[in-house]
A and B are shown apart, each in its own frame.
Chain A
Amino acid sequence: MISLASDNLLGTVFGVYLARAKDEEIRKIKVASGGAVTALLTYALEKGIVDGVVTAKRIKGLEGQAIVAHDKKELLEAAGNKWSIVPFAARMKAKIEEENLQRVALVCLPCQAQFFGQMRDFPLLETDFGERIKYIISLFCMGTFAFEAFLNYLRMKYGIKAEQIKDIALKKDFLEIIYDDTTLALPIEEVYSYLQAGCLVCTDYTGTWSDISAGFVESEPGWTVLIARNPRAEELIKNAEKEGYLELKEGSHVIGEVLKKAREKLARAQQNMMYLL
């Protein structure tokens, strides 16, 4: 019912890199990946390329909130995986207008990147603020949780309360929930049904409307995969390396792995669409 050319899956790819932060402080906090996004944004903020970074911060349990970071400290506080969608759009507009930001970098999920990308390319409304968005950085995404339901499940089956959860990480086929001092590994199949239905029909893994897509692959632990989608994004990454914020290496050999994940997401979407639509 849906046909999509496979070269379309990752969108425009200008360059692929493996990167990690040079800064030890960033790397310590970002255990899962190389912290390249945080380092890249630190560079952009400190050199005045952007005047604010809008991102999501987990406030309690799995709930997130949109915040504006102005320096490295604020960025580090927001670092880490989010597992729920953040009602970004309206709050973001309020934030941008409140602080009168002119050059913003956004860190968001593929769906949000699509919305902001479309807004920037095609401003349909007078109230659009696309020209203020300088960089859109999209994170690889396999879906977000309908987190009330998911938290209920965790509470009922495992007795874990939302406040106890410190972090959630994806390791191979297991979802590791770190709470108090214990780690609970849940098989992915077990929690699949708690993903939001909208995410189950989404086909975009990397965020094709973004300037830079970031995420990690299993074969290169400790490194972040960065996909630059236009010359402007490429320039930012290269300059961050030059200025000593990033450690960079060529990453075209991992694109197959990213593509495999993207195909998985597409296959899942097609399967689910048959049930849902």
Chain B
Amino acid sequence: MEKLKVLHVDIGGCEGCNVSILRAFPNVQDFVELNMKYLAKKTCAEDKYDMVIITGGVCMNEPHIIEKVKSLREKASTLVAFGSCATFGGILRFCRGGQEPRPDHRNFQPINSVVKVDYSIPGCPPTPQMVQSFFKFFIAGDERRLRLFKVCADIKKLSGFDLIDDIVLTGLCIGCGACELSCPTQAIKMIDKRPNLIAEKCIRCGTCYVRCPRASQLLCMGGKI
């Protein structure tokens, strides 16, 4: 079987996602040909890649980054936004005054503000195992399992705040506790069987939203809230 030709490009961020992809490399190298600057390979050398993975948010004040993302779209058969910054803007986009890290240019956008994205994988950062299973299901063509990430590719903002707005305040929360378990910063605590969000702690990665059974079910059905 021919290997999937994958290019990884980082356009700014904390390197967490890059490390995650790098950590997955030993387990995926049998079926994926990964081009990544950490692997001392010449990246962007070819005209066409099966998949381009972009990490980090787009800084709208830097035209060369926008150009780069556009040219990557040309090269890619499938474009994947990996990590919360690339998917929804994450901490880069939503951090407020006084909070660290504080980017100089305060205008970060998710990749899908600039080009069309095929799959978005939120998470801060998504684990190496996630990279593995994504490749596995992608190569197997398992659309049902990848549906959630496909839907996320059209969404520009998902966070704990949206979870509270869309699911808890509308009364759709059933109190299963999935969000509490999936918050990487422990910003969500279950109080009286309903989640409570500690606003200062939320880094807007969107993990809780895609993990909420109700929210992910509604997303997958295409029922836009």
Contact = CB atoms under 8 A, between A and B. Distances in A.
A124 B207 CA distance: 7
Interface stretch (A45-53, A168-176, A200-208): A200-208
A204 B212 CA distance: 14
Interface stretch (A70-78, A85-93, A245-253): A85-93
A156 interface: no
Given A90-B190, A115-B213, A198 B172 contact: yes
A87 B221 contact: no
Contacts of B223: 1-2, 273, 277
A11 B134 CA distance: 20
Nearest to A85: B174
B130 A198 contact: no
A118 interface: yes
A87 B190 contact: yes
A91 B217 CA distance: 23
B156 interface: no
A118 B216 contact: yes
B113 interface: no
Contacts of A196: 174-175
Interface size class of A (residues with CB under 8 A): 35 or more
A65 interface: no
A114 B213 contact: yes
A122 interface: yes
Contact of B211 (A91, A110, A118): A118
Contacts of A273: 223
Interface of A: 1-4, 8, 11-12, 85, 87-91, 93, 110-112, 114-115, 118-119, 121-128, 130-131, 144, 196-199, 201-204, 273, 276-277
Interface of B: 121-123, 126-127, 129-130, 133-134, 137, 144-145, 148, 167, 170-178, 180-182, 184, 190, 193, 207, 210-214, 216-218, 221-223, 225
26 contacts: A2-B221, A3-B222, A8-B144, A12-B144, A87-B175, A88-B177, A89-B181, A90-B190, A110-B213, A112-B176, A112-B178, A114-B216, A115-B213, A118-B148, A118-B216, A119-B182, A121-B133, A123-B133, A124-B121, A124-B126, A124-B207, A124-B211, A125-B182, A128-B129, A144-B174, A276-B171
